[in-house]
Structure 1
Amino acid sequence: MVSLQLRDLGASYGKKLTIAAVSTPEFHSGEIIAVIGPNAAGKSTLFKRIAGLLNGPGEVSLAHTSKGKKAISYMPQDTSANAVLTVYESILSARKQGSRWSVDDADLRFIDQVMAALNIKPIAFRDLGALSGGQRQLVSIAQTLVREPDVMLMDEPTSALDLHRQVEVLSFMQAQARQKGMIVLIAIHDLNQALRFADKVLLIANGKMQACGSPLDVINADMLRRVYGVDARIEKCSRQFDHVIVDGVAA
């Protein structure tokens, strides 16, 4: 079992504190946490602080029992990569990062599984520099998934994908989190996808945590009006999923 908790976490660029006092309940193995908030709210900064790329006060408390796994893996918004490598080479390199460069059948099978699930096997031997933005994003997702970390931080991983691919990718990430016992934090703007796939929602605005809890506890009409400045309501569209309706139009 893996658990992650943030305690009074802050992050700074130089002397300027850009996020402050973020404290969460414990997140546990298999959970998807959607990190939502307006543009420039501090979501990317929070991820960099959790990943250890920024300094600041507070504590990232990670307790886990896994062995031989990378504790935290971070996928930034910028999906630029070494254009000299092929897609397959870049994913294999990510798989072996921080470990010995011996490749076994289990490595190859898992890489093939991830590439097939993300539908990128047809471009396996294309150079990264020749890919579209959406294809590069899928490769970055694969690079993060094949590391099999305890915690995955994914900063807007589906922003360049069409709706069909978004649902496919988020469904696969959810299944991997459950199967591998990972904790997955996803910064996402689509609140309907947050309602559909997240176990918990963490709301960031103005550099501070505004709420953290179940999707329907956090994503409600009052929050949408206060944080996003829109009049909206939440409606149940099936037994499983709710969605946001803005001014009579599904968001």
Structure 2
Amino acid sequence: MGNLRSHLRPLNTHDRAIATLAHSPAANSPIMATKEATDEATRQRIVKHMNTEHHDSIRRYVEAYASRSMFQSRSAKMIDIDLDKMVFSCGGQQAVIGLDPPMTTLRESRERMAKMDKDALETLGRSDISITRFVPAYTRPAHLWNFTQCLLAFLLLPRAANWQPGSPIYDYALFMVPSFANFVAQYGWLIFMIMLPIHLIEGVIMVMRLAKHGCTFLDGVWWKWVGTCFVEGITSFWRLDALIEERKKEKEAKRH
């Protein structure tokens, strides 16, 4: 203790002034202000990026973690993010999603939100590929041929008179194969009745597949996919599969 006292001396006026300044709020205010400004800029950048580039993820967040419906989530937007929560506007209301455990810095947000999106996909039974584009049958000649034949079958098969003498089809073409024309005139309605439920089932399957990719009847492309599927059947699924594969490759390319 004697040695310790020998090294201690009373604070003079200059020392007290320095100590007071070091512990005053004003000494730290420029640093704190800079940090707060940086955090606010980071926060705004995250919010803007999510709303612009990742609206699909935002929709999944509010559906999986805030119990909003697929229809309510269509208008969802991120309005704020903090270390312990994300705040969204959704259908005129706010949805607050807590982050557990809280982040230690906003720099963790990218990794945290990517993990939450992956978990949301599993919870909702969805794919990370969203269907926002329609590929028409005329982009592939074979698909257009199938679409045309199926459409003509739906329009012409139910009415026997379309296949009998006096109809344009018979007078310009089928008169050369009267036995075939007579067969279709007798049994065309039966073929139509077989086609109808098959194509209805294919339409239902298309609806379920589109739902997995976040596409509902509120989207214009939904009506195009389902409508063409009802007419042409399997070839519409081939185009949808090709579109999904294309989107997957685009995602992989962005990662690299």
TM-score (norm 1): 0.21
- Greater strand fraction, Structure 1 or Structure 2: 1
Structure ranking higher on relative contact order (CA contacts 8 Å, 6+ apart): 1
- Greater helix fraction, Structure 1 or Structure 2: 2
